[in-house]
Amino acid sequence: MKKIFTLTMLLFSISVSVSAQEKKQEYEPAPYWFVGVQGGIQDTFNKEFNNWKTITPTAAISFGRFFSPVVGARLNLNGAFNKGAACSVFPNQPTAYYNYNYLTPSADVLVNLVTLFGKKDYYPLSVNFIGGLGLYHAWNNDEAAELGSPYRLSDTEVGSRNAFNGRVGLQVEYNIIRNLAINIESTFNMHAGQQKTFAKENDQLLVLAGLTYKFGYKKKPVEEEKWETRVDTVWYDDVTYTPRIEDGTITWNVFYKIRESDFNDPDAQLKAIGNFLKDHRECKVTIKSYADVQTGNPKINMGYSQQRSEKAVKALVEAGVDSSIITAEYFGDTVQPFAENDKNRVSIITATGLKDVKDRNAVKKFRTKETRVRVN
């Protein structure tokens, strides 16, 4: 169940990110206004008391504007609780801690390092350098006055304190949608602390995370459509057909075994003859049958050749060929059409006819065509 929830949230995050980038295209990446809230922790450096006991919660609010995809500025107010430490002047005495409050208003400059060195004006992820100046105000440190005598601060050290503050840091920010981003920020405050000097023990490290709401984007201007008329050259084939009459002739040989006169393989022969007659007009079919000279005698061979012609005619007529276009002859062994003896037991069927054909003639030509096209 946990894996399903994690996967669902991941897919949701990706889809939202894609949606944000698509919507972003409708608007300029900058300028825009923003307001942010953050919460986190802070620690005040002190070489004598630098440990986890001085870490306290802190918060910040900010309001600002990015003037371009690279440069922005903000007014930032940071503060909450702080903790000081006092060391006894006597050896082997534990350190004493006291609480107080602080506020640090500052004016910061933001520089987006991603767009500064990137090739685009917008990326979902930003890394902002932070540099600023402000004031540091601390108060409510009465606990320091109530410490025991080994730790008690002097009257000059107790009370409210004001000092100038310098700030540097980095902020990593990711746009969930176009108007909302999450961020994490680490800044280093260099302020004049209780002694009003920029001493190391008065420096402050803050780690904050929060949300930023962005608004005031400008829509990208709608670019006026520009059109022009383009003249294209279109090449084509100018085709004509020249009619003519083609003489068609085709011949089939039907071979027989000794003393046989049946029409061999009639299906293939009749199909071929039928296709020819279908494609031609004014057709004539001639059948000439023979017998081989080395078998039988002239009288018997004449009878075989006659039977072969008659059976061939019968097969053609039964297949649908008009008998009026068929001419049949038989020659016995008086004529030998082939040099090989066994091939002379044959009926030679010849079909002739006329076919109307058209010869295709193509000439390359061109014409111009006007087309309206958008040029921006």
- Which helix (H) or strand (E) segment holds residue 305: the answer is helix 298-318
Instruction: Kindly state whether residue 257 falls inside one of the protein's structural domains.
Output: yes
Can you give the pLDDT at residue 182? 95
- pTM of the predicted model as reported, rounded to 2 decimal places: 0.53
What parts of the chain have a pLDDT lower than 70?
1-25, 45-52, 85-96, 143-159, 192-202, 265-266
Chain position carrying tokens 């000059």: 156
Domain count, the chain: 2
Instruction: Kindly state whether residue 243 falls inside one of the protein's structural domains.
Output: yes
Can you give the pLDDT at residue 15? 45
Instruction: Kindly state whether residue 372 falls inside one of the protein's structural domains.
Output: no
CATH number, domain of 288, equals: 3.30.1330.60
Q: How far is CA 191 from CA 164, 200, 335, 342, 350, in A?
A: 6, 9, 131, 124, 118
Instruction: Kindly state whether residue 25 falls inside one of the protein's structural domains.
Output: yes
Instruction: Kindly state whether residue 132 falls inside one of the protein's structural domains.
Output: yes
147, 260: one domain: no
Can you give the pLDDT at residue 72? 96
201, 242: one domain: no
Q: What is the DSSP letter of 27?
A: B
203, 291: one domain: no
Number of H helices, E strands in the chain: 5, 12
Can you give the pLDDT at residue 35? 97
200, 283: one domain: no
Instruction: Kindly state whether residue 14 falls inside one of the protein's structural domains.
Output: no
Can you give the pLDDT at residue 292? 92
72, 192: one domain: yes
50, 169: one domain: yes
Q: Which domain holds residue 172?
A: 19-215
Can you give the pLDDT at residue 154? 59
CATH number, domain of 105, equals: 2.40.160.20
118, 168: one domain: yes
- pLDDT over 70 for what percent of the chain? 80
In 240-297, which residue ranges form alpha helices assigned H by DSSP? 266-279
Q: What is the DSSP letter of 219?
A: B
Instruction: Kindly state whether residue 228 falls inside one of the protein's structural domains.
Output: no
Instruction: Kindly state whether residue 6 falls inside one of the protein's structural domains.
Output: no
